[in-house]
């Protein structure tokens, strides 16, 4: 962000989430793209923000499972032991 275009950097910052999610209007997308083509700092912010989100998405794509002992304890607390069938992963 250079001193001259710092106000533009700041005014575009609020749109970055929508930009990265692909939910921003075409007009504003173009504005961000042309600004980032000239402003190295903003280009880096956009690229690293996109990468940050994609890294979390990649981790979240892995199945969310609870450890076997947590599951057993949960069923016990909820008084559901009679229905505690083995998980697919435990078979």
Partner 1 sequence: MSESKSEISIEALRLGDRREFARLVDAYSGPLYRLALKMLGNATDAEDALQNTFLKAFQHVNTFEGRSSLSTWLYRIASNEALMLLRKRRPESTFSDMSTEDENDRNFDPVQFTDWCCLPEEELLSAEARNALDRAVEHLPETLRIVFVLRDIEDLSILETSQVLGLSETAVKTRLLRARLRLREELSSYYSDRLNKRSKE
**Closest to 14 (Cα-Cα) out of 28, 34, 30:** 28
Q: Is 37 in the site for partner 1 (CB under 8 A)?
A: no
- Measure the CA–CA gap between 43 and 14, rounded to whole angstroms: 15
Exactly one of 26, 64, 90, 91 binds partner 1 (CB under 8 A); which one?
A: 64
- Measure the CA–CA gap between 84 and 73, rounded to whole angstroms: 10
Using CB under 8 A as the criterion, which residues of the chain lie in contact with partner 1 when the complex forms?
A: 1, 10, 13-14, 16-18, 20, 40-41, 44-45, 47-49, 51-53, 55-60, 63-67, 70-71, 73-75, 77-78, 80, 82-84, 87
């Amino acid at each position: 962000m250079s001193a001259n275009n710092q106000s533009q950097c700041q005014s575009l910052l609020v749109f970055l989430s929508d930009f990265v999610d692909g939910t921003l209007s075409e007009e504003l997308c173009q504005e961000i793209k042309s600004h980032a083509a000239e402003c190295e700092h903003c280009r880096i912010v956009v690229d690293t923000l996109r990468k940050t989100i994609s890294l979390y998405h990649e981790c979240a794509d892995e199945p969310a499972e609870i450890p076997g002992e947590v599951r057993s304890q949960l069923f016990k607390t909820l008084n559901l032991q009679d229905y505690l069938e083995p998980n697919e992963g435990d078979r």
